[in-house]
Amino acid sequence: MSNRMPLIGDRFPELRVETTHGAMNLPEDYAGKWFVLFSHPGDFTPVCTTEFIAFERLRQEFADLNCDLLGLSVDQVFSHIKWVEWIRDNRDVDVQFPIIADELGVVSNALGMLHPGKGTNTVRSVFIIDDKGVIRIILHYPQEIGRNMDEILRALKALQTHEEHKVALPANWPNNEDLGDKVIIPPPTNVKDIKTRLEGAEAGKYKCWDWWFCYRDL
């Protein structure tokens, strides 16, 4: 496989993987569910340990959004299992999501997770895949910087809100400095729709700063 970076909107490649929960077929085994695939440079490393603890502590909130978590590194399965045991015994956190053992780098290469300057270690990548197996968000972090799991959860909520209501979400939603938790109506694409939009604002259906910037309660 090539080391080509997949794009947002691409279908997640069909892959058979070995995990701490047994063999899995991606994205088939998550059909009808969202999932977050995240890679880490290596087991038994400090930053990665804090990340796995943070993900596990939010796992139920992801599950409540019909979304599973799936970790990955190039370490072997036994290393993943031993590391999860260490986290449980020393940090009192029981990591319950599966972790892919990508020893041959098949998944890492398919998703562009291997950086030429970092040897065989995977970078900190995050892929949010929807319930149809389509990649919706891609995030990358350097090895030295831990991820913000609350932001990943927020992005998932925003994506699902967009899907359900066909709206856009402002910066820092649902805590935007000006709009709070309100959502943005996609701008008109023709002159006729501009008139309709202005009429809707006059009728109190939503509020507008201008015809191209209208918002409403969810």
By annotation, the residues acting in catalysis are 48
Kindly report the length of the chain: 218
Residue 208, H or E segment:
strand 207-210
Max CA pair span of the chain:
64
Q: 36: which 2 tokens?
A: 């977050």
Q: How far apart are CA 167 and CA 22, in angstroms?
A: 39
Within 8 A by CB and 6+ apart from 175, the residues are 181
Sheet holding 213-216, edge to edge: 183-185, 213-216, 207-210
Helix (H, G, I), strand (E, B) or coil at 53: helix
Q: Both ends of the chain: CA-CA distance in Å?
A: 43
DSSP state, residue 12: P
Let me know if 68 is exposed, middle or buried by CB neighbors in 10 A (0-12, 13-18, 19+).
Answer: middle
